[in-house]
Amino acid sequence: MPTQQYKAWSVVIASTFAFTVCFMIWMMFAVIGIPIKETLGLNETEFGILIATPVLTGSLIRLPLGMWTDRFGGRIVFFVLMLSTVIPVWLISYSTAYWHYLLTGLFVGVAGGSFTVGIAYCARWFPKNRQGLAMGIFGAGNTGAAVTKLVAPVIVVAYGWAMVPQVYAVLMLVTAILFWLFTFSDPAHKIAQTVTMREQLSALKDPKVWKYSQYYSIVFGGYVALALWMTKYYISEYGFDLKTAALLAAAFSIPGGVLRAMGGYYADKFGAHTVTWWVLWVSLVCLFFLSYPQTQVSILTVNGLQTFHVGLNATMFTVIMFTMGIAFAIGKASVFKYISDDYPHNIGVISGVVGLAGGLGGFLLPIMFGALVDFTGIRSSAFMLMFGIVWVSLLWMYWTEVRPVKIGRHHERQLAKQAVSS
> Does some domain include residue 157?
yes
Higher model confidence: residue 341 or residue 103?
103
In a domain, 351, yes or no: yes
For residue 235, being part of any structural domain is answered with yes
| Residue 397 covered by a domain | yes
pLDDT score of 169: 96
Is 207 domain-assigned?
yes
Domain that holds residue 95: 4-287+313-421
Identify whether 274 is part of a domain.
yes
* Residue 184: partners with Cβ closer than 8 Å, 6 or more residues away: 2, 7, 10, 11, 75
Domain for residue 301, yes or no? no
Mean of the per-residue pLDDT values of the chain: 85
The pTM of this model reads 0.76
Domain count, the chain: 1
What pLDDT, on a 0 to 100 scale, did the predictor assign at position 106?
A: 92
For the segment 133-184, what is each residue's pLDDT rounded down to a tens digit? 787 788 778 788 888 988 999 999 899 999 999 999 999 999 999 999 999 8
The CATH number covering residue 374 comes to 1.20.1250.20
Mean pLDDT of all residues in 2-7: 82
Does residue 273 form part of some domain? yes
Q: What is the pLDDT of residues 43-56, one digit of tens each?
A: 989 998 998 899 88
Task: Inform me whether the pLDDT recorded for 397 exceeds 70.
Answer: yes
